[in-house]
Amino acid sequence: MDFNFTEEQGMVRDGLSRLVREQYDWETRRKAIASGAGWRPEVWAQLAELGILGMPFSEADGGFGGGAVDAMVIMEEFGKGLVIEPFVPTVVCAGGFLKHGGTAAQKEEHIGGIVSGERVFAFAYAEPKGRYDYADLETTAKKDGSAYVLNGHKAVVFGAPWASHLIVTARTGGERRDRSGVSVFVVAKDTAGITTRDYVTVDGRRASEVYFENVSIPAEALIGAEGEGLALIELVTDEAIAATCAEACGAMKVAHAMTVEYSRQRKQFGVPIGSFQVLQHRMVDMYTAYETAVSLTYLATLRLGSDEVERKKAVSAAKVGVGQAARLIGQEAVQIHGGNGVTDEYAIGHYFKRLTIFDSEFGNVDHHLKRHVALS
Amino acid sequence: MDFNFTEEQGMVRDGLSRLVREQYDWETRRKAIASGAGWRPEVWAQLAELGILGMPFSEADGGFGGGAVDAMVIMEEFGKGLVIEPFVPTVVCAGGFLKHGGTAAQKEEHIGGIVSGERVFAFAYAEPKGRYDYADLETTAKKDGSAYVLNGHKAVVFGAPWASHLIVTARTGGERRDRSGVSVFVVAKDTAGITTRDYVTVDGRRASEVYFENVSIPAEALIGAEGEGLALIELVTDEAIAATCAEACGAMKVAHAMTVEYSRQRKQFGVPIGSFQVLQHRMVDMYTAYETAVSLTYLATLRLGSDEVERKKAVSAAKVGVGQAARLIGQEAVQIHGGNGVTDEYAIGHYFKRLTIFDSEFGNVDHHLKRHVALS
Amino acid sequence: MNLEFTPEEQAFREEVRSFIAENYPKHLADFGMREDMSREDFLAWHKILGRKGWSVPAWPVEYGGTGWTPTQRYIWSEENARASTVMPLPFGVSMVGPVIYTFGNAEQKARHLPGIVSGEVWWCQGYSEPGAGSDLASLKTTAVRDGDHYVINGQKTWTTLAQHADWGFFLCRTDPTAKAQEGISFILVDMKSPGVEVKPIKLLDGGYEVNETWLTDVRVPVENLVGQENKGWTYAKFLLAHERSGIAGVARSKRGIEKLREIAANETLEGAPLIKDFDFAKKVSQLEIDLAALEITELRTLAGEQAGKGPGPESSILKIKGTEIQQRLTELTLEAVGTYSAPYMGGVSNDNSNEHPVGPDYAAHAAATYFNMRKTSIYGGSNEIQRNIITKMILGL
Amino acid sequence: MNLEFTPEEQAFREEVRSFIAENYPKHLADFGMREDMSREDFLAWHKILGRKGWSVPAWPVEYGGTGWTPTQRYIWSEENARASTVMPLPFGVSMVGPVIYTFGNAEQKARHLPGIVSGEVWWCQGYSEPGAGSDLASLKTTAVRDGDHYVINGQKTWTTLAQHADWGFFLCRTDPTAKAQEGISFILVDMKSPGVEVKPIKLLDGGYEVNETWLTDVRVPVENLVGQENKGWTYAKFLLAHERSGIAGVARSKRGIEKLREIAANETLEGAPLIKDFDFAKKVSQLEIDLAALEITELRTLAGEQAGKGPGPESSILKIKGTEIQQRLTELTLEAVGTYSAPYMGGVSNDNSNEHPVGPDYAAHAAATYFNMRKTSIYGGSNEIQRNIITKMILGL
């Protein structure tokens, strides 16, 4: 057992920490969110330059040979600055599908563009009626000669407005909610028949509803075996959950620190509110929840390579524990900030919003507690 | 709508309150529990004299025409003093079965003895494997000519060591857990074939395991229609739950008051611990939980005469809310008492123990939350 | 002790229900908690009730009250919640009105109460300041006597919907040498006075419902002082206790749970309606149980008031539990809508776009409402302050 | 960063497991949390380990420690928990021992450490007093110098298992004029000294595991003073931090959850095993998740210690979460046994009857254990005190 970071991981963290601190200040972030583009492609380019976008790919695939712990280090720093750029959809999700399921040709085609920052991906898996079940799909991909024809509607596809390509899940066989019959495809977003409705999300990112109407894609767009995609999706989303948990840990760390600092500055009844024992103990409980979240994120990250049951249990444990911590810390941070906590002006509210939406990504607390029970 | 007590109810409360205060002091209670008998028959006789044991029976049946609100007033006072005498099994349960399901002959036979204090009942319904399901019965009553033959084992029959008679539930037909086929009988405890193992309970009462081995009882022992007993059991246990909730409210009121008083007396760091804001707010939360429990007890009590669904929902709501309050108040009271809270010497621990066992009587929080969901 | 309604009370319920059905503006039907409305929308029902004589039920009859029993008022709230009506705002009806008829002079009553009753005059509340939140008494806004006028200078904040207000009631320091709660006066200010400036505060849900209000050399005639100079704290406390008693919001939360059940019946989990999922249904049942308890607690408090006790520290319990339930309701709604909690469709208040929502209609504001309702445990005396009050007044510590 | 064990560590686990299987006394197998044992029962495993050289793994090797890595110590704990062994009591091994080898003189080390290592000498702790619980520093027991002796007078309480003790370590006030934490000394007392009287305290579970200890003119040679006179508070704080670091009890709670699952597999609900009930299974899963988090938190802390940091305020987190989990475990066990939680079958400690239990064996002490474990959030520095420590040391408030 070893709980230390490597020297390299320490350097990545320090570099990213500096980038976020120096170039991701609050006002710039606010302007980027309000801008037409809604993000900062120049930051994306810098991440590519720093090697961040290529971190988790093998050197053979053109990356830097990092692993899940590196992704954790990166995401924690992103979380601290509430970075909105689409690292998870592009690098963790699309990258994960390519790494674990892609053919040599698919890797060749896409990974270089991800590493260089030229190709941005979104992961279109959620559907209006599917809730958190990856197999509950109404989107279909019908074989038509050597091609597939996609039809359906994907909901809240994070990062899609910025994406050049999409990873899409669709049913190629079986009944709705069957474990078999689910397939995964990689598709250029400008393929004929794809339309989107783009919008801002409550936590300052962008997402789209994506509509597929008789979208014809070649057989080479299939990732993994036809109808066998669910296990791959579960693996990649487990990796995405671990990464997102690390992001939430970063956000919680800052939210907690901001709250402690606010309690030191803000005076009521002639003394700093941080001198009230009730608020002290509540900030201790926030801190304890944060430490719990960090531990569970470590556990999930370190179990990503374990056997399926161990992996899923650890990941679900993390999503449950981090989700509970995120709720507690978000709500308490706002409460202790008082009126200022519910304004748009104070940063704390934005951490609260990010931590709120976190719960609905890749399955909420209830969903993962159920999965944990089913595996126990 | 009316939330006032009648003048008569006020008098009953004052009388009982005085009795508990003057004759049920802590040392006397402790000695009674440790004695061979384990209770105080002389208190029982006094309750009969005061008319308490006859309160809920109609005047035609030899009682005083009281109702559920009167039982609530009585039980709250019993709760304040942790009175161990078997009012619920005898008056609420056995009394309830006789009132709602008894024939004229059965009423004639038993109610007089209850009112006068001469007949003491216990309610034998729980079984080792039945948990909180009144229909999950292994005890059988087989028709044998005009008689029934009882066989089975009843678990944790509160008050049985003191009882002259038992109310027994048994299966006369149907499969285990069927709603139909459940019957209710009244039996003298000294009937041949009944044996008991008596013991003290952790909250200072007495109970028995009751074994029936080919116990022959006459057809007149059947209360209500054969095989149709479940609805009657549900009604009577709902009444018993409302009464027990009132008892818990009384116990919580005292436990809370004791804790506030202790926090005023006990000094640490040179000041009363009641001056620490953290303990203040926790005692406020205890108080709020107590008020919630009282309100739900009122609701359950006032809905005992409503239609079945309304009644069950209100009673389950009370068992859930009072159960949650009892746990919070019991645990916090001990915690705030510190080391003294876990000693046998301080009264608070005994309130805690009573409030703990409360949850397992007539179905715990989970059981009743499920029933509430099923009815919603 | 009983929960039954008398035949008279049942008849009253019918009367109220018919009146609402026949008179409530159709375009404001089932408006829920949204507040993206014009001034006229806010006042429409108030004005109708004013003409009917039902706009200020709790007031003494001589000032426009209805003389209803607490049970009738309870029925009135229930029926309005059932129809999700846009009720008269509290600033006039529940806050300054009772202060004026209790502590004001005859002239003030004659001048100000009719406008509140009719819904013609919109009031706002100038209590909080940037440095004085929970510690209200540390306020710094000053009112200096200058002949027949007070000259007011200072900054107020969290002035809800002040953008529409005609009049405001302000706490100002009139004796700078007095300590904390002494030396404060309760002054009525015409919001059109020169020197009054209202700046909206953007809230984290994206909407604008509160403001910063700047007062710079605002001249106010001395006859706008309510009660005695330097005794304003007494009136402020009176008002806060009144404010809290309505804050439980039982009838609205009941309607909210009905809506939550409708949403959860429409959402799916593993191919079945979400409301059939035991895990979710259990949370709804727990919320219903908590709300049932709160309802009885409020009715017990009302019974106490009817028996002559004023709104006491028990109202702090109603505030704590009421806001906890309101917040939990929005939290469960957010959970129910799942994936579609993320799209931003405008705030709860007046910032929303007119676009058709992404996802189901009920999802459009679920997140914004959840964010917005965090305020309820902060305003009206934060829930921490309420616990301090209970500590002192009920526990006696 | 990884969670894997090296082949050497796996071999170590095998060695430990075999040693326990071959040497642990059969009659004490799977003893769990019960403490109704004789002095010999308590010491049996300790003495075996003493002979093996494994009784004080965390100590420096020169005093008898094993020199194991933190990972080996972790494996050691896990294997002992797996076998539910009766581990050496903490009073000697984790409390006074480290104080003596860190602050004691050569003579004290030579005299006292071997008896702790071998398990021959039983120690007890004289810290708390009736008026000094969480506020330990307000203790009143005095030690007055008289020639070559201290004369000790006072009353200690909560002296755990002092009925068996040979020696005790006591905090006494040696300078009555000094303030609070100054003027306290750390003194070793032979419990057979004249004037020492131990009276059992009956606990609410019915058992006796703690005592009141009265000291009346007890004469103690001055060489029993550890470290400097009036500096005892430093040693006491050192000891408390050590005490907390073991208090998480992760391995024991893991075994406890296994037992809970066994109980819930045997209990029935609606005709099926209770553990198949989603509602109950969910609570067990939540507890497992909390415990998994605590385990990693403890391992992270150990890694920090390995990197040279002593047990710091992080140990307060371990204490809070560890005891919350232990208490929750007993609460769920109580819930699982249902109806049979009510019969009283004797306390957790030495008061139980020899009767065959009413109901299943596992139900016999469920309530008593639940009652007994309420102590864990009170002793060793109450969880409120731990929160105060974190406030100061980690939050910096």
Q: What is the pLDDT of residues A104-161, one digit of tens each?
A: 999 999 999 999 999 999 999 999 999 999 999 999 999 999 999 999 999 999 999 9
pLDDT above 90 as % of chain B: 99
Interchain contact, C202 vs A352, CB within 8 Å: no
Hey, is the C-beta of B314 within 8 angstroms of any chain C C-beta? yes
Q: Centre a 10 Å sphere on the Cβ of residue C198 and count the other Cβ atoms it contains.
A: 18
Interchain contact, A339 vs C340, CB within 8 Å: no
Closest by CA to C297, choosing from C337, C324, C276, is C324
Question: Which residues on D lie below 8 Å from B352 (Cβ)?
Answer: 204, 371, 374
Mean pLDDT of C248-270: 95
Radius of gyration for chain D, computed over Cα atoms and rounded to the nearest angstrom: 22
Asked if D374 contacts D327 with a C-beta cutoff of 8 angstroms, the reply is: yes
Give the DSSP letter of residue C229.
T
Q: Is the pLDDT of residue C35 over 70?
A: no
Interchain contact, A276 vs B277, CB within 8 Å: yes
Q: Which chains touch C (3 or more CB pairs under 8 A)?
A: A, B, D
Catalytic site residue C262?
Answer: no
Mean pLDDT of D225-244: 88
- For D391, list phi and psi in degrees, rounded to 5: -55, -45
Hey, is the C-beta of A282 within 8 angstroms of any chain D C-beta? no
Q: What share of chain D is helix, strand, coil (3-state, %, to 5)?
A: 50, 15, 35
pLDDT tens digit string along C183-218? 999 999 999 999 999 999 999 988 888 999 999 999
Give the pLDDT of residue D34: 53
> Which of D213, D333, D358 is most worth mutating to test chain B (most B CB atoms within 10 A of its CB)?
D358
H/E element holding D124?
strand D123-126
Mean pLDDT, chain C, whole residue set: 92
pLDDT above 70 as % of chain D: 94
Closest by CA to B268, choosing from D128, D270, C47, is D128
Band of pLDDT at residue C388, cut at 50, 70 and 90: very high
Band of pLDDT at residue D302, cut at 50, 70 and 90: confident
Q: Is the pLDDT of residue C32 over 60?
A: no
Band of pLDDT at residue C181, cut at 50, 70 and 90: confident
pLDDT tens digit string along B193-240? 999 999 999 999 999 999 999 999 999 999 999 999 999 999 999 999
Q: Which residue of B has its CA nearest to A279?
A: B278
Q: Centre a 10 Å sphere on the Cβ of residue A258 and count the other Cβ atoms it contains.
A: 17
Mean pLDDT, chain B, whole residue set: 97
Band of pLDDT at residue C33, cut at 50, 70 and 90: very low
Q: Which residue of D has its CA nearest to C282?
A: D279
- Read off the amino acid at residue D225: L
Give the pLDDT of residue D33: 47
Hey, is the C-beta of B203 within 8 angstroms of any chain D C-beta? yes
Structure tokens at D274: 């209770």
Scanning D149-208 for CB atoms below 8 A from B yields: 157-158, 201-204, 206
Q: Is the pLDDT of residue D36 over 70?
A: no
Interchain contact, D342 vs B202, CB within 8 Å: yes
Angle CA(D116)–CA(D121)–CA(D123) in degrees, nearest 5?
Answer: 85
Question: Which residues on B lie below 8 Å from D330 (Cβ)?
Answer: none
Query: What is the distance between the terminal CA atoms of chain A, rounded to a whole angstrom?
Result: 24
pLDDT tens digit string along D99-110? 999 999 999 999
Give the pLDDT of residue C179: 84
Give the pLDDT of residue C241: 74
Band of pLDDT at residue D6, cut at 50, 70 and 90: very high
Hey, is the C-beta of D273 within 8 angstroms of any chain B C-beta? no
Mean pLDDT of D253-257: 95
CB pairs under 8 A between B and C: 113
Interchain contact, C268 vs A129, CB within 8 Å: yes
H/E element holding C21?
helix C7-23
CB pairs under 8 A between C and D: 5
Hey, is the C-beta of B339 within 8 angstroms of any chain D C-beta? yes
Give the pLDDT of residue D348: 58
Interchain contact, D278 vs C282, CB within 8 Å: no
Q: Is the pLDDT of residue C351 over 50?
A: no
Give the pLDDT of residue D347: 63
Q: Centre a 10 Å sphere on the Cβ of residue B240 and count the other Cβ atoms it contains.
A: 21
Interchain contact, A369 vs D285, CB within 8 Å: yes
> Which of D155, D159, D204 is most worth mutating to test chain B (most B CB atoms within 10 A of its CB)?
D204
Interchain contact, A281 vs B276, CB within 8 Å: no
Give the pLDDT of residue D310: 64
User: Is the alpha carbon torsion for D19, D23, D25, D26 positive or negative?
Assistant: positive
Interchain contact, C278 vs D282, CB within 8 Å: no
Rounded Cα distance, D286 and D106, in Å: 50
* Count of alpha carbons within 13 angstroms of residue C288, beta-carbon side: 21
* Count of alpha carbons within 13 angstroms of residue C1, beta-carbon side: 29
Question: Which residues on C lie below 8 Å from B264 (Cβ)?
Answer: 397
Hey, is the C-beta of C270 within 8 angstroms of any chain D C-beta? no
Band of pLDDT at residue C350, cut at 50, 70 and 90: very low
pLDDT tens digit string along B320-340? 999 999 999 999 999 999 999
Structure tokens at B113: 């003895």
Give me the residue from A281, A291, A314 closest to D317, CB to CB.
A291
pLDDT tens digit string along D124-183? 999 999 988 888 889 999 999 999 999 999 999 999 999 999 999 999 999 999 987 899
Shortest alpha-carbon distance between residue A275 and chain B (Å)? 11
Mean pLDDT, chain D, whole residue set: 92
Shortest alpha-carbon distance between residue D383 and chain A (Å)? 10
The one catalytic residue among C129, C243, C298, C314: C243
Give Cβ neighbours of residue A101 (< 8 Å, ≥ 6 apart). Answer: A184, A223, A224, A229, A232
pLDDT above 70 as % of chain A: 100
Hey, is the C-beta of D309 within 8 angstroms of any chain C C-beta? no
Greatest mean pLDDT among A164-168, C176-180, C313-317, D356-360 lies in A164-168
CB pairs under 8 A between A and C: 133
Burial class (CB in 10 A: 0-12, 13-18, 19+), A105: exposed
Question: Which residues on A lie below 8 Å from C280 (Cβ)?
Answer: 366
Q: Is the pLDDT of residue B253 over 90?
A: yes
Question: Which residues on A lie below 8 Å from C342 (Cβ)?
Answer: 156, 158, 201-203, 207, 357, 360
Give the pLDDT of residue D70: 83
| Whole-prediction pTM | 0.96
In this prediction the ipTM stands at 0.96
Q: Is the pLDDT of residue D320 over 80?
A: yes
Angle CA(B368)–CA(D347)–CA(B31) in degrees, nearest 5?
Answer: 90
pLDDT along chain A (376 residues), means of 10: 91 95 92 95 96 95 94 98 98 98 97 97 97 97 96 98 98 96 98 97 96 97 98 98 98 98 96 97 98 98 97 98 98 97 96 97 98 97
> Which of A268, A327, A332 is most worth mutating to test chain C (most C CB atoms within 10 A of its CB)?
A268
Give the pLDDT of residue C352: 45
Q: Is the pLDDT of residue D245 over 70?
A: no
Scanning D28-67 for CB atoms below 8 A from C yields: none
Scanning D214-233 for CB atoms below 8 A from A yields: none
Burial class (CB in 10 A: 0-12, 13-18, 19+), B192: exposed
The separation between CA C380 and the C-alpha centre of its own chain, rounded to angstroms, equals 9
Band of pLDDT at residue D214, cut at 50, 70 and 90: very high
Shortest alpha-carbon distance between residue A200 and chain C (Å)? 6
Give me the residue from A126, A269, A344 closest to C339, CB to CB.
A126
Shortest alpha-carbon distance between residue C70 and chain B (Å)? 9
Asked if D181 contacts D233 with a C-beta cutoff of 8 angstroms, the reply is: yes
Q: Is the pLDDT of residue C381 over 70?
A: yes
> Which of A275, A277, A284 is most worth mutating to test chain B (most B CB atoms within 10 A of its CB)?
A277
